[in-house]
Amino acid sequence: MATIAAEPLAERRRAAFVRSAAARVGMLLLVLAVLWGFWEGYRWLWIREGWTWPFVVDSTTMPHIHDILQALFRRPTSGTGDILLVQLLHATWFTAKEALVGFALGATFGFLLGVGLSQWRLLQRGLLPYVVASQTVPILAVAPIVVIYLGSLHVAPWFSVAVIASYLTFFPVTINTLRGLQSTDRRALELMRSYAAGPISVLWKLRIPAALPYIFSALKVSATASIVGAIIGEAPSSIQDGLGGFIVNFNQYYSLNPENLWATNLIAALLGIAFFLVIVGAEAIVVRRAPEHVA
Amino acid sequence: MSVVTIEGVTKTFDGGTTALEGIELAIEEREFVSLIGPSGCGKSTLLRIIGDLIRPTAGTVRVNGKPAAQARADRDYGIVFQDAVLYDWRTIARNISLPLELARWNRRRRGERVQEMLRLVELSGFESHYPWQLSGGMQQRVSIARALSFDPALLLMDEPFGALDEMTRERLNLELLRIWEASGSTIVFVTHSITEAVFLSTRVVVMSPRPGRISDVIEIDLPQPRTAATREEPRFFELVTRVREALHLGSDHDRDLTAPRTAEAPS
């Protein structure tokens, strides 16, 4: 009886899942088509009318989307070598590695700092202003210092970049961890008190699980920030193998081949989306919440 | 030996409000004592003082012959709040076993105890559900199972059925009596429902506000075990009237309204 009842249910669930997946893919394609249409339509209108505000539209400022995509399948310089897409995928892998290590370092440090600040009020008062101040220093000013310091320790240059990425990553995690740990339900805390639970148990069994939605919001911000950090960090480290190197290079030759820079940006954006989706997936696995709480 | 002994307890909050004044009360083993009174009479505060969740300004509270703080450290009582306060990220089974984890029971004993508790509150089969998949009444039963899981001598309940509809409340009242019978625990129960207090209790402690005091203590001599039919007995209505009058005597401005009333059940 139970199995008979269960089968149609499982079938219906699967059908519902397929439908919702199809709807998502459809929506994604629709959005891409609209964006494409908007870009090309804008381009066409501005060129036809000769409008120069806010900027002159031509093939340098706004190359055709299809030209950008075609650039991916050309060799960027005459002669031998892989097509741009293959080169960019290598660079993406290189940058992703830096960003991933940076993200892991930053998220871990940020989380531990948040936990520490939440446990010791005095530490929070003394340290939090400097944590905030650290983020007002431009990453472009910090990056060369990190590269020089770590370089003198004979650390691999890519690791310096990871450290720079972690500098952008830790801050949102610290702030949100702190906020999450401090917004624990009062009665849930009373309950723990009634069980005579020690501070470690309260932290581990109540405060941290309750803070996970906050922490994951921060991780989503940090995941994309770690890629920005890695790309920016490559410049002062003179690393040529990553997306940052390609962007600096293509920037110099923008007037000749604007498509190359756009194509690189496109790939960088895809990397950012991939990182973001990994975090969303991890959140779905880790965070157990009532459906209406899932954002 | 009394399970709970309260002597000269006074509680003044930081703002200067006196929540409780000169509270004297002894609760014996296996009693079911309700604290009833209008809002602001300090009944929840008194319950929290018994549980050492807040400290009294003056006076002493002893639970099982020990100071309240020691009793809390020894996990001598379980507590149930108006909301179930279940942890969203834990299954029903893991919610019930939370106090057992904290008391360092091993996995096998925890598992056995959880099954036993689920049977007690008649929720067997729901162990791997998450709290949000259960109705309000079921969630509250889980929270009772959690409070009783480590077999405390004392159960503190702060308006546990206050957020539920009348029908669910009456059903859970019967269920609570059965659980009380089966577990052999002593219960201190905060409510503002007169009928609920009379139906459940062996004694009703009537409190009056500003400052919170005990204005009357009424023995409920309805025979045990109580059933749905108990609510229709003449003695039940007499006691309901008695508690209502005590409540209105306690708060002066309501006194004039008391006289013409008869024993209809309040909501």
> pLDDT (tens digit, 9 = 90+) per residue, B157-196?
999 988 888 888 888 899 889 889 888 889 999 998 999 9
Residue B75 has its nearest CB partner, among A185, A195, A289, at A195
Using the beta-carbon criterion (under 8 Å), do A206 and B87 form an inter-chain contact?
Answer: yes
Asked if residue B210 has pLDDT above 90, the reply is no
Whether B51 and A194 lie within 8 Å, measured CB to CB: yes
Q: Name the nearest CA neighbour of A87 among A206, A245, A223, A212.
A: A245
Compare B73 and B1 and report the one with higher pLDDT. Answer: B73
Mean local confidence (pLDDT), B14-36: 89
Tell me if B75 and A287 make a contact (CB, 8 A cut-off). no
pTM of the entire structure? 0.82
Distance from CA of A279 to the nearest CA of B (A): 18
Query: What integer pLDDT is reported at residue B48 of this predicted model?
Result: 93
pLDDT band at B254 (very low <50, low <70, confident <90, very high): very low
What average pLDDT does the structure give for chain A?
89
Tell me, what's the pLDDT at A156?
87
Report how far residue B227's alpha carbon sits from residue B230's, in angstroms, rounded to the nearest whole number: 5
A291 pLDDT band (50/70/90 cuts)?
low
- Contacts of A171 by beta carbon, 8 Å cutoff, 6+ apart: A110, A131, A134, A135
Is any Cβ of chain A less than 8 angstroms from the Cβ of B151? no
Lookup: tokens for B194: 């007169």
Q: Which residues of chain A have a Cβ shorter than 8 Å from any chain B Cβ? A: 185, 187-188, 190-191, 193-197, 201, 205-206, 209-210, 212, 287-291, 293
Min Cα distance B154 → chain A (Å) is 12
The yes-or-no verdict on residue A294 having pLDDT over 80 is no
pLDDT in tens, A143-164: 888 888 998 998 888 999 999 9
- pLDDT above 70: residue B257: no
Give the pLDDT band (50/70/90) at residue A77: confident
**A196/B74 touch (CB, cutoff 8 Å), yes or no:** yes
Residues of A in contact with B87 (CB under 8 A): 188, 206, 209-210
- DSSP string computed for A35-101: HHHHHHHHHHHHHHHT--SSS--STTTS--HHHHHHHTTS-SSSSSS--HHHHHHHHHHHHHHHHHH
Q: Is-contact B9 B49, C-beta < 8 A?
A: yes
pLDDT-derived band of residue B40, with 50, 70 and 90 as boundaries?
confident
pLDDT attached to residue A108: 97
pLDDT at A125 over 80: yes
A291 with B73: Cβ contact below 8 A: no
**pLDDT-based confidence at B259, cuts 50/70/90?**
very low
B160 preceded by cis ω (within 30°)?
no
% of chain A residues with pLDDT over 70: 94
Contact of B78 with chain A, judged by CB distance below 8 Å, is answered with yes
Contact call for B89 and A209, based on CB within 8 A: yes
> Is A190 within 8 Å of B102 when comparing Cβ atoms?
no
Average pLDDT over residues A290-294: 52
Radius of gyration of chain B (CA): 19
CB B168 within 8 A of CB B136: yes
Q: Do A194 and B87 touch (CB under 8 A)?
A: no
For residue A294, which of B138, B89, B98 has the smallest C-alpha distance?
A: B89
What is the predicted pLDDT for the residue at B211?
Answer: 85
Run of H or E residues at B45: helix B43-50
CA distance B70 to chain A (A): 10
Q: Is the Cβ–Cβ distance between B66 and B181 less than 8 Å?
A: no
- Which of B98, B157, B159 to probe the A interface (max A CBs under 10 A)? B98
**Once rounded to an integer, what is the mean pLDDT over residues B241-266?**
63
Q: What is the rounded average pLDDT of the residues A52-63? A: 90
Q: What is the pLDDT of residue A7?
A: 61
Taking contacts as CB-CB distances below 8 angstroms, the residues of chain B near A209 are 87, 89
Q: Chain A to chain B, count of Cβ pairs less than 8 Å apart?
A: 56
Mutate which of B74, B79, B97, B133 to test chain A, going by most A C-beta atoms within 10 A?
Answer: B79
**Which residues lie below 8 Å from residue B218, measured CB to CB, with a gap of 6+?**
B203, B204, B206, B239, B242, B243, B246
- Tell whether B74 lies on the interface with A, counting CB pairs under 8 A: yes
The chain B residue lying nearest A291, using CA atoms, is: B132
State residue A12's pLDDT score.
83
Determine if the peptide bond prior to B211 is cis (ω within 30°). Answer: yes
pLDDT tens profile A225-283: 999 999 998 988 888 889 999 999 899 888 888 999 999 999 999 999 999 999 999 99
> What pLDDT is recorded for position A289?
66
Average confidence score pLDDT of chain B? 87
The predicted structure's pLDDT at residue A80: 67
Residue pair B199/B230 in contact (Cβ under 8 Å)? The answer is: yes
Which band of pLDDT confidence, cut at 50, 70 and 90, is reported for residue A9? Answer: confident
CB contact B69 to A (< 8 Å)? no
| Any A CB within 8 A of B216 CB | no
Tokens of A45: 């209108």
In angstroms, rounded to a whole number, what is the distance separating the alpha carbons of residues B149 and B229? 30
Gap from A185 CA to chain B (nearest CA, Å):
9
Higher pLDDT, A201 or A78: A201
Q: Which residues contact A83 (CB under 8 A, 6 or more apart)?
A: A72, A73, A74, A75
Average pLDDT over residues A89-110: 95
Q: Identify whether the C-beta of residue A259 lies closer than 8 Å to the C-beta of residue A83.
A: no
Q: Which residues contact residue A225 at a Cβ distance below 8 angstroms, ignoring those fewer than 6 apart? A: A165, A168, A169, A172
Q: Which pLDDT does position A115 carry in this prediction?
A: 95
Compute CA distances A263 → A71, A97, B110, B165, whole Å. 7, 20, 58, 62
- The answer, yes or no, to whether residue B110 has pLDDT greater than 90, is yes
Which residue does chain B place closest to A190, by CA atoms? B53
Tell me the mean pLDDT in the region A212-223: 94
- B51 reaches A (C-beta below 8 A): yes
pLDDT at residue B255 greater than cutoff 50 = no
What is the rounded average pLDDT of the residues B96-109?
Answer: 93
Check CB contact under 8 Å for B89 and A196. Answer: no
What pLDDT was estimated at residue B252? 56
pLDDT, average across residues B125-154: 91
pLDDT score of A175 more than 90: yes
